[in-house]
Amino acid sequence: MLSARAAVSVHAPSEDTDLTFLRFFFISLFALAVFQPAQAQDNPIVKRMAAFVKAYNAQDAAAVSTFYTDKAALLPPRSKALVGRQAIANHYAQAFQNGVEALIYQVIEIDQAGPGSAVEIGETRVKFKAQSIAGRSIHVWKNVNGEWFIHRDMYHVLAISE
């Protein structure tokens, strides 16, 4: 049964309490700024995406296609699915021939779904002639014999600017 009377203790916070809170706050803020595992440079998917960007910016479509599994699917906007490394290499070769260049890629999030798969979300910026195209992608990664490959790749355009 609930009592109609309750004891309430009221006290002013002490300087020690304020300092403890401030220490906790700044230590937490520091930890958030320093420890970002999804974007850590030692993350194998982050490393693979950095190498992907290097191959892309070298305009090497064959090298770009090696970052995909043999049965990978690339799902570009307003286009049919491109399945397999050769179809993906052809897509990138055509894009490079048309003037797409200068990829900047930022990994936003990596969620490892198990020992052999992960989902990664990223944001992109490429140049196309005088335009800058911003986009977002989602990659499903597959670990094959200890190495990570893109198994599914879908991207869309967020904005086009001059």
Residue 57 lies in domain? 40-161
Residue 142 lies in a domain: yes
Residue 5 in any domain: the answer is no
Radius of gyration of the chain (CA): 24
**Tally of structural domains, the chain:** 1
* Whether this model's pTM surpasses 0.95: no
* pLDDT at residue 83 greater than cutoff 80: yes
Please report how many Cα atoms fall inside a 13 Å half-sphere around the Cα of residue 42, on the Cβ side. Answer: 3
What average pLDDT does range 42-50 have in this prediction?
94
* CATH assignment of the domain containing 52: 3.10.450.50
Q: Is residue 9 part of a domain?
A: no
Q: Decide if 19 contacts 27 (C-beta within 8 A).
A: no
Q: CA 127, CA 25: separation in Å to the nearest integer?
A: 41
The pLDDT value recorded for residue 42 is 79
Residue bearing the bigger pLDDT, 46 or 5: 46
pLDDT value for 41: 62
Mean pLDDT along residues 46-61:
97
